[in-house]
Every structure is written in structure tokens, then in C-alpha cells.
Amino acid sequence: MMSQMRHFSLKMNDGHTIPMLGLGTSAPSQVLKSETEMAIKRAIDIGYRHIDSAHLYQNEEEIGRAIQMKIADGTVKRDDIFYTTKVWGTFFRPELVQTNLERSLKKLQMSYVDLYLLHHPEALQAGEDFFPKDTHGNIIFDTVDLCTTWEAMEKCKNEGLTRSIGVSNFNCKQLERILNKPGLKYKPVCNQVECHPYLNQSKLLEFCRSHDILLVAYATLGSDARKKWVIKNKPRLLQDPVLNAIAEKHRRTPAQVALLYQLQRGVVALAKSFSEQRMKENFQVFEFELTPEDMESLDGLNRNMCYLQDLFSGHTDDASYGND
């Protein structure tokens, strides 16, 4: 049963496995880089083996240092860690996709990552600015065919720089563009999107399942309002009365219930917390089980509500978007 699944993983469509519970590492700018390094070391000591980051988060040097220290002290081997990074839109030109990955690998002091994702479906003007803008403050996009970007991702996998490749923040139509690409060598193993009881992504989950693509959920507990891309004044998920009633019934925390909701749907869940106590609590999520009635009640909380803004169109609702 669930209590025996402390290190439970799911098999991806390329044969590799991914731990169902991961640690998200995006943090508000107020958080010191040294805190990220300490948090990763704590997380590995607690038992986390799945760590999710990205070029955009600007913390891979600290994460790499923490992982290398835990390898050096014998806590883990490199193969014990499942590490995800993402290629940002300014590197979507095919000749830049591997460059982005090699930058991450150098910072991480690793020879490969376990999962490399397209961070979002839009190509941005190449350069060092994460959000290139014109004189009117509008984002400058690039005319890159995502299918050619995907071919460069496939090359990274073939060359052993990443074990698996996937996407993030894609909707069904955008996924279909990749899936229907002539000469497709590897389809995405996963689609990482904002997903929580207020935005349960049921249609997208069904679509992904039908194509043997895993859904990976970020913002599973809501999101930190200090982040500049988080929409302000949204209802706080962890204060929801239904969620709290279920938590009280099981003598668990609302966060544990929100995480287990995803795991029991077959969704990989990323939990973002640098607090040692909360990291420990979140890691105890496999020690109980939600009933079918609990799951039905949590399904009923869906309101198609995003916590994270669409960073490029300005839309703030009804989208599977953002970065955690």
C-alpha cells in the first residue's frame, strides 16, 4: 500500500523512472542563494532524490555544490539523484539548445541530467536577457519552429547529456505539434504544469495519459505570493475548508493532503519548501491514503484558477502556465 512507497517511482515512456515526489527549487529573489544550497543538503538528508530546477532559476551552481557535497560525504551516489533542468526560450534556436544544457551541467558539476524540458512553448529572442523587450516594453519573440527545437532536444538525449526529454507548460494542441512531428524519435516523457485542487488539469491529464506522457505538477500547494510572477490576492489553497477537513480526519497537514491527491491520480508532484520541518512533513505523504470519497471531494474543488501569470501574453486565468 501507500505506506510502503516511500521511494515510489513511475516509469516514463522511454523506460527510465521518475520519483513521484520531487523538490521544487524556484525561490523569490529575497531568498539568499546560500539558503538554496542548505535546503538541498537538508532535503537529501531527509530522503528526497528528485530535484527540479531550471536555467531561469539562477540557482544551479548552489544546487550542484550541495549535491556534490552529499555525494562526497557518502549520503548518495549520482545515480540516486533524479535531476531536472529546463531550456529557456532564449535558447530555443536548435544550435543553442545544447549550449543551454552544457551551461547547466558545468554549474552542476555533472556529466548528464536525468530530465531536460522545454520550459514553455514560446521562443524568445536569443541573448542574455531572460525576457527580451522592445522600446515599448513588449516581449520580443523569435520565429523558431518548436519541432526543430525538439530535434535538438533529441540530439541531447542521443549524446547522453540527458537521459530523458520532455516539456513544460504545454497545452494539448502544443503537445500534438511535437507528437505529430514527421520523423519523431522520442516523444516527451512528461508535461510539467501548474496543477493543484483549484486547477486540477483533468482534461490535460486525460490527454497526456492517452499518449503515455506523465503529468508533473508544480505549485501543488499554491504558490509563494512574494514571487513577482504570482497573481496577488488569490484564495490560499492550504486554507481551504474542504482540504483542511480531510487533513483533520487523517490527522495530517493540508499540504500532505494536496500532495497525496496528485500522487493518487498518478501525477508526479513537486513540493516547494525550504523549511526543514515542512520538507519532512511533505516527505511523509506516502504514510497514509485518501479514500475515494476524499478524492471526489478534492476533485470538486476545481475552479480552473491559476496562481501563476502567463508570462508572455498577460493572461492570468484558465491557463497551464508559469514557473515554480
Residue with cell 522520442: 186
Q: What is the pLDDT of residues 260-296, one digit of tens each?
A: 999 999 999 999 999 999 999 999 999 999 999 999 9
Q: pLDDT at position 228, please?
A: 65
> CB under 8 Å to 111, separation ≥6 — which residues?
105, 160, 161
Confidence bin at 229 (pLDDT 50/70/90): low
- Residue 2 or 112, more confident: 112
Distance, CA of 312 to chain centre:
19
Contact of 17 with 11, CB cutoff 8 Å = yes
Q: Which residues pair with 269 in a beta bridge?
A: 21, 217
Confidence bin at 225 (pLDDT 50/70/90): low
What the chain holds in terms of domains, given with CATH numbers, is: 5-300 (3.20.20.100)
Give the integer Cα–Cα distance in Å for 84 and 195: 18
Percent of the chain with pLDDT strictly greater than 90: 85
Residues 246-257 as b or e (16 or more Cβ within 10 Å = b):
bbeebebbbbbb
**3-class secondary structure for 154-201?**
HHHHHCCCEEEEEEECCCHHHHHHHHCCCCCCCCCCEEEEECECCECC
Q: What is the pLDDT of residues 230-266, one digit of tens each?
A: 777 889 999 999 999 999 999 999 999 999 999 999 9
Residue 315, pLDDT above cutoff 80: no
Residue 196 in marked binding region: no
> In the numeric block, which cell numbers belong to residue 81?
539523484
- Residues labelled catalytic: 57
Percent of the chain with pLDDT strictly greater than 70: 92
Q: What is the pLDDT of residues 5-44, one digit of tens each?
A: 445 899 999 999 999 999 999 987 788 888 999 999 999 9
